[in-house]
Amino acid sequence: MTGKRTLAETEFDVQYMKKYGSLMAQGNGYLGMRAANEEAYTEQTRGLYIAGIYNKAGAGEASDLVNLPDLAGMRIKIDGTVFSLLDGEICYYRRQLDLSGGELRRQILWKNREGARFHLLFQRFVSKADLHVLASKVTITSLDKDAEVEVASGIDAQQTNFGRQHLAERAVRVFDEEVMMGSYETGESGHRIAAAAIFRCDKRAVRSFTAKNRQLLQTVKLKIEDGKPYEFEKISALYTSLDRDLEGQEPEEACVLKGREAAKAGYKALFAASSAEWQAFWQRKQVKIASRDPFDQFALDFALYHLEIMAPSHDERFSVGAKGLTGEGYKGHVFWDSEIFILPFHLFTEPETARKLLRYRYLKLEGAKGKAAQNGYEGALFPWESAFSGREETPEFAAINIRTGERQRVASPLAEHHIAADIAYATVQYYEATTDEAFMKKEGLALLKETARFWISRATDEGGRLSLKDVIGPDEYTEHVDNNAFTNHMAHYNVKQALRFMAQFGEEEEAFKRRAEDFLDRLYLPEADREGLIPQDDTFLSLPEIDLAKYKEHQGSQGILLDYSRKEVNDMQILKQADVVMLLYLFPDLVPPETALRNLEYYEYRTIHDSSLSKAIHAIVAVRCGQAESAYRFFQEACEIDLGPDPNSSDEGLHSAALGALWLVTVFGFANIRAGGGVLSLAPKLPEQWTELAFPLVYRGRRLELVLSHEKLSFTKLSGPSMRISVSGEEFLLEDRLEITTVQLEGK
């Protein structure tokens, strides 16, 4: 499925429809559109989403990222037959998403049942030049005869989130027998959404409009001549009441105005403007990998394309959902994935976006304080799943318990508290990479202090030692444990950093300081035992084990939950992802490399990797332990999470964190960069298969370009003052350009 920055599907296969619907999704951070085909198929899920537009479909329901009225669907009739690839014969088929320019193209040579051939070219994009605009173009050529073509499309509000309705229709209108406009409102969250759609087509076409059953449709009919391409364009615009660029207009006015303006420009001009923005993006941010396997480069391009379209860099009131804007998995909610897996890419390429992602958490501090208070804690406990409100949004129930037949409650919001420390960690990481004092003094400090307060109040005194009891670490197959290694170390770091920055900014509160220091003194920090193992929690190492081979074969499917109840899984040494490996990733100096390796091996053996967050982190820790070969294997397997052959891997959207983690493996793993402590340091360990790795990096006001190979490392500073760089423990001064051979390094 690869190509030169092109994701292609060369065979029509309904089995892969939902997957490609996610993989080939388009967007611009403001809106996201799944790559559902224009024509209808039962196996595909249409989806159009706008960042921040959530709604609860009813009391007791969790907020959904609202599936908006569809603008991409088209019903095409050729000589009276509804066009479908399940009918007639497909003589040629190719669908491709061009990552460089953001266009989705589908080219089909189709023979109807009567044997007449038609060439169809579908093109569409979501504008990167204007957040509110999307456009489609269809070119139909009849190859054997004159034909009657009918295209019906418009604004289709029959879409739901798996049967959950979020939008009430406020009005549908047609202006000047041309502009279709639909206005909708979410029930509970009270957002207004307005869409306009305009057809551009042959003047001779006969047009008619219908409005029925939540669909506003325009139908155009035309007799097309044998061999003469018939072009049809549909230009659409969307605004919501949340938009900050409404300039005093109502969303309804704004979308009609924008739609008219865009339709005047037409597909070609609109696409040129959008494509130029994509060129600039690749110019500034691409990671270049010279690998024996071109898939590595492709996977990184794919990851970066999606990291870009999922980031709401236009507005700090939103963050990145676990599936971005590519599907309804996890209801579009924001997890710790945003800070730990996705934020670093932005931090080191466009720090302003990272700042906004942290501002999102800052703006939701009230909700986090509320959650802490409700649970009897001080400070701020961020919700496990967050949306627009800032309140806890985790759904109440997960899967059916196979023994009792009852739905199982989701435990994460009750105990998966590490999210508070994850946000604190990202806050410090942001400061280290930017030295943004203004942010740190206000937002950063507030985040650190309130989360630190939470941890202090969360601890339990057990004979003088402080424990964090009844928590869930990142490994969700081990619920309700005491002293989870990841959680305890992160909480410790969180409180320590709060003290550090309070001191730095002269905001010391004596009472808090005393409590914090006591917490740091007395909190139990799980350390490597005699066998060199850091216990994941107080009981894990004593639990029984089973053979996981069967489940590891189908990793990512959570197939074990079809054989065992959650409770049963909980009581064995079975990991979804390895907390200790995660801990070693975030704290590379916690243990010596040989201890890290011991833990990596022990825990990986017991890990199914049912979490998409797992593989890439294992890759990074493996690199650092000198296991370049297994690191590369982990990396490639991580690339396959969405891009692999499993037809259902990505049905409900892409794995945003896993995509962010590919960048992490490259930069924090193989390039082995560290940005803490005031000096940018690196100790590259490229896999044998790679001859060169090049990437840009923004660090403390400098824009750098790094080119690393097995023979030499070269650094170019494109802007900003000179700086020190530590390479494999050796410090260098980077003025404008610096080249170091590995021989040189080994020599030292």
Catalytic residues: 476
Q: Map 312-375 to HEC letters.
A: CCCCCCCCCCCCCCCCCHHHHCECCHHHHHHHHHHHCCCHHHHHHHHHHHHHCHHHHHHHHHHC
Pick the stretch among 16-24, 78-86, 117-125, 511-519 that binds a second copy (CB under 8 A). Answer: 78-86
CB of 517 to a second copy, least distance (A): 47
**Separation CA 684–CA 686 (nearest Å):** 6
Nearest to 297, CA basis, from 289, 308, 285: 289
Site string for a second copy, 15-34 (x = CB under 8 A): x-------------------
Nearer to a second copy, 43 or 688 (CB): 43
Residue 84 CB, shortest distance to a second copy, in Å, is: 8
Candidates 70, 518, 504, 26; CA nearest to 277 is 26
719 contacts a second copy (rule: CB under 8 A): no
Q: Give whichever of 178 and 231 is closer to a second copy, judged by the CB atom.
A: 178
Q: How far apart are CA 132 and CA 690, in angstroms?
A: 40
Task: Considering only residues 390 through 429, tell me which ones interact with a second copy, judged by CB under 8 A.
Answer: 397, 399-400, 402, 405-407
Contacts of 297 (CB under 8 A, 6+ apart): 288, 289, 290, 291
**E runs forming strands in 501-592:** none
Structure tokens at 167: 């939008």
Rule CB under 8 A: say whether 272 interacts with a second copy.
Answer: no
Q: How far is the CB of 209 from a second copy (least distance, A)?
A: 5
Task: Output 173 or 700, the one with its CB closest to a second copy.
Answer: 173
Instruction: Using the Cα atoms of residue 61, residue 63, residue 64 and residue 69 in order, give the sign of their dihedral.
Output: positive
Touching a second copy, residues 671-710 (CB under 8 A) = none
Nearer to a second copy, 43 or 711 (CB): 43
- Block residue for tokens 């006015």: 253
The residue among 397 and 605 lying less far from a second copy, judged by its C-beta, is: 397
- Establish if 645 lies at the interface with a second copy (CB under 8 A): no
Residue 72, interface with a second copy (CB under 8 A)?
Answer: no
CB of 558 to a second copy, least distance (A): 11
How far apart CA 748 and CA 744 sit, in angstroms, is 7
Least CB distance to a second copy at residue 128 (A): 30
Nearer to a second copy, 138 or 216 (CB): 216
Nearest Cα to Cα of residue 375 among 334, 413, 337: 413
Query: Going edge to edge, which strands form the sheet with 215-224?
Result: 81-82, 75-78, 147-156, 215-224, 206-212
Of the residues 272, 562, 718, 743, which one makes contact with a second copy according to CB under 8 A: 562
Instruction: Draw the binding track, 147-176, toward a second copy (x: CB under 8 A; -: no contact).
Output: ----------xxxx-xxxx--x--xxxxxx
Q: Cβ 311 to a second copy, closest distance in Å?
A: 26
Site size toward a second copy, by CB under 8 A: 49
Is 652:302 a contact under the CB 8 Å cutoff?
no
Residue with tokens 């009657």: 148
Quick one: which of 90, 129, 211, 290 contacts a second copy (CB under 8 A)? 211
CA distance 262 to 249: 17
- In the complex with a second copy, which residue's Cβ is closer, 375 or 558? 558
The only residue of 10, 210, 374, 722 in contact with a second copy, by rule CB under 8 A: 210
| 8 Å CB contact between 642 and 13 | no
492: closest CA among 461, 464, 512, 516?
516
* Shortest distance, position 200 Cβ to a second copy, whole Å: 18
The nearest distance, CB 183 to a second copy, in angstroms, is 12
* 75 touches 153 (CB < 8 A): yes
**Residue 741 CB, nearest distance to a second copy (Å)?**
54
- The pair of structure tokens assigned to 467 is 């424990």
Binding string to a second copy for residues 45 to 64, with x set by CB under 8 A, is what?
------------xxxxx---
Phi, psi of 11 (to 5 degrees): -135, 135
**Which residues are within 8 A (CB) of 747 and not within 5 positions of it... i.e. 6 or more apart?**
none
Identify which range of 38-46, 89-97, 247-255, 289-297 contacts a second copy by CB under 8 A.
38-46
Instruction: By CB under 8 A, name the binding residues for a second copy.
Output: 14-15, 40-43, 57-61, 82, 84, 86-87, 157-160, 162-165, 168, 171-177, 187, 208-216, 397, 399-400, 402, 405-407, 562
